[in-house]
Amino acid sequence: MRKLFVFSVLFTLVTIPLGLWSSSLQDPSQDPGYGQSDPSMQQEQPQFAEGELLSVDPQNQSISIKTSDGSEMQLSYTDATTVSGAADSVEALGGKSGSQVRVTFDAATNTASSIEVLQ
């Protein structure tokens, strides 16, 4: 009986590490979660839009542009939005209606991070 107990313990001590080791050798692509990352950890790539500045609404902190395909986009902005080119602030863009602009924005929130006046 004692031999059976010792054999069982030794067998268990050998097979558990072997089982763990062999499972680590499996093809990771067989794991259902393989290649998928946590969506909350992903960062959106910035989007770009170029077009004619139609209007600036300081009260609602938004701008409207007309893109080259004729569609209109309304984007919000924040105090952190940078402006470069012929204007140095979003408020100064108010007098630049009709100017060509390039806007970098977050597609998830539709918020401009930078506005460049091209002409």
The per-residue pLDDT for range 43-76, each reduced to its tens digit, is: 567 889 999 999 999 999 999 999 989 999 999 9
The pLDDT tens digits for 71-98 are 999 999 999 999 988 777 887 888 888 9
Asked if the structure places residue 11 within a domain, the reply is yes
Look up the domain containing 83 and give its range.
Answer: 47-117
Q: What is the DSSP letter of 89?
A: S
Q: Taking the model in full, what pTM does it have? A: 0.62
* Secondary structure percentages of the chain, helix, strand, coil, to 5: 30, 35, 35
Q: Is the dihedral of CA 90, 94, 96, 101 positive or negative?
A: positive
The b-or-e profile of 100-118 (16+ CB within 10 A means b, else e) is bbbbbbbeeeebbbbbbbe
Same domain, 20 and 51: no
Asked if the structure places residue 41 within a domain, the reply is no
Domain count, the chain: 2
Residue 90: CATH number of its domain:
2.40.50.320
> What is the SS3 assignment for 2?
helix
Same domain, 112 and 81: yes
